[in-house]
Structures are given as structure tokens and as C-alpha cells.
Amino acid sequence: MNAEPLSKQLFSDTKNASQLVRSYQKIAVTIDCVIFGYQDGQLKVLLIKSDLENYTEQWSLLGNEITHTETTDEAAYRVLKQRTGLSDVFLDQVKCFSTPDRHPGGRVVTVAYCSLINIAHHQLTCTDNDLHWHPVQDEIDWAFDHKEIFETCYGWLQKRIQEHPLGFSLLPEKFSLRELQGVYEAILGMKLDRRNFRKKFFTMDFLEDTGEMELNVAHRPGKLYTFNYKKYESGKKDWVGIDF
């Protein structure tokens, strides 16, 4: 607020790095994971009942403190692994939330992470505290500021999935185009034109025809494709173009 005294105090002299850091106020830092999953054509988010007194009826993101020896990334992977058994999955940092009174137990700064996994392919390793998947369009009674964190991550995901091939992590190794389109429609919350969707992905040229077909579907079976990551990498463009 008043610039002079602080800048004078901070920049008068060289300082010892350890002393400086010792002088800083220390704060609890946590990570919270917004883990999205997809099942039956619906986008869902993984939540637990809060385990804090007075908040046990509210839904909470999966979170944990970060320890002195790990990065926030490592903490996020640790939590994801503990709760879902998953380790080979994307997990991206979205944003840091730091409102002083955001946590009822005192000052806690949290870093939000976002992930997207295939529900059908991973059993939850622990279902304490009512851990389960909630359709994203359900009314949810959120704990603390987790509604805001969730919404930020959901918006981030909708933008991200249009620019990066995240959708494939929701699908089995081999998938039909209908399944792929279902993922996009669920995440973006809108219907897409089937013919244009197919054209789009075929011209992007990283889907590989496996030669196999769907089995046991109550309609004409579709071809199964795999996502060729190498082709995706080599075909990436780096210039997007000005477009507000």
C-alpha cells in the first residue's frame, strides 16, 4: 500500500538468503485435484465428503498438503495415485487460489490441478468419505471455495480439450469415432455434427485404423481407431493466429 518504507527496507543492502527466507511469513500450501471422468456419455467429477467437523455434508475436491520435499506437481500425482491408483495420466496445474479466509481452519494457499481419466478402466482404491463420481451438471453442495475451483478447472478443461488431444485418455486403447465424439460433446456440453467431426479428425491425421470393428453393439459396428501420438507430435502447428 505505502511503497516507500517497504522498498527502502528491502533493497538497502545485500542480504543472506537463508535469513531472508527465514523472515518470510510461512503458510500452509495444499493442492486440490479436479479429477474429471467420463462414463455413460456423462462427464463426472470425483469428490469426497469433507472430513472436517461442520462440513461433513459438503462435497470436497481431493486435496492434500505439500510437504517440504515435493513440488506441487509431485503432490498432485501422489494424491491422484492414492485415490485412483492411476499414475500414467495427464495432470496439469490450473491456478493458485489464495483468498486469506478460503479455508475455515486458517490460512491455506492451494494450487488446483486438473485431470481426466477413464472411469470404467480404473477402480477407486479407497472409497472412504463417500468418494464417488458426480455428474458435472448435478447441483452440488460444495465445501469452502471448491465450487470456484471446480468451475475454473471446468472452463480450463473446455478450452484445453479444443487445443490438445486430452480426450483420448478417456477412451480405451481402441475406440470408435462415436465414442470420441461422445467425449467431446460431454465435455463441451453441446452437440456436434457427426460428419464434420469425422472430417476434422481425419484431416488432423493422427487416428490410426486398427482394422478391427466394434463388437456387441446394437447397430452397425464402427471401425476402431488408435491415437498415434507420434503423428500428432510431428504434425503440430505452433502458430495459431490473432483471433480474439
Q: Bridge-partner residues for 133, per DSSP?
A: 46
Name the 3-class secondary structure at 41. coil
223 belongs to the binding site for DNA (CB under 7 A): yes
- Separation CA 98–CA 108 (nearest Å): 7
172 belongs to the binding site for DNA (CB under 7 A): no
190 belongs to the binding site for DNA (CB under 7 A): no
Computed over its alpha carbons, how large is the radius of gyration of the chain? 22
Among 12, 17, 203, 230, binds DNA (CB under 7 A): 203
- Separation CA 68–CA 55 (nearest Å): 28
Structure letter (DSSP) for residue 67: P
* Closest by Cα among 95, 38, 84 to 62: 84
140 belongs to the binding site for DNA (CB under 7 A): no
What is the smallest separation between the CB atom of 173 and a second copy, expressed in angstroms? 20
Name the segment binding DNA (CB under 7 A); options: 3-11, 94-102, 113-121, 195-203: 195-203
User: Which CB sits closer to a second copy, 17 or 215?
Assistant: 17
195 belongs to the binding site for DNA (CB under 7 A): yes
193 belongs to the binding site for DNA (CB under 7 A): yes
- Separation CA 15–CA 20 (nearest Å): 7
Name the segment binding a second copy (CB under 8 A); options: 38-46, 88-96, 115-123, 215-223: 88-96
Among 40, 67, 90, 121, binds a second copy (CB under 8 A): 67
Residue 220 to residues 145, 176, 199, 203, Cα–Cα distance (Å):
47, 12, 20, 24
| Residue type (1 letter), 219 | H
Name the segment binding DNA (CB under 7 A); options: 17-25, 83-91, 99-107, 196-204: 196-204
Show the cell assigned to 130: 463417500
Site for a second copy in 7-66 (CB under 8 A): 7, 10-22, 24-30, 48, 51-56, 64-66
Contact residues for DNA, defined by CB under 7 A: 176-178, 193-196, 198-200, 203, 216-223, 239, 241, 243
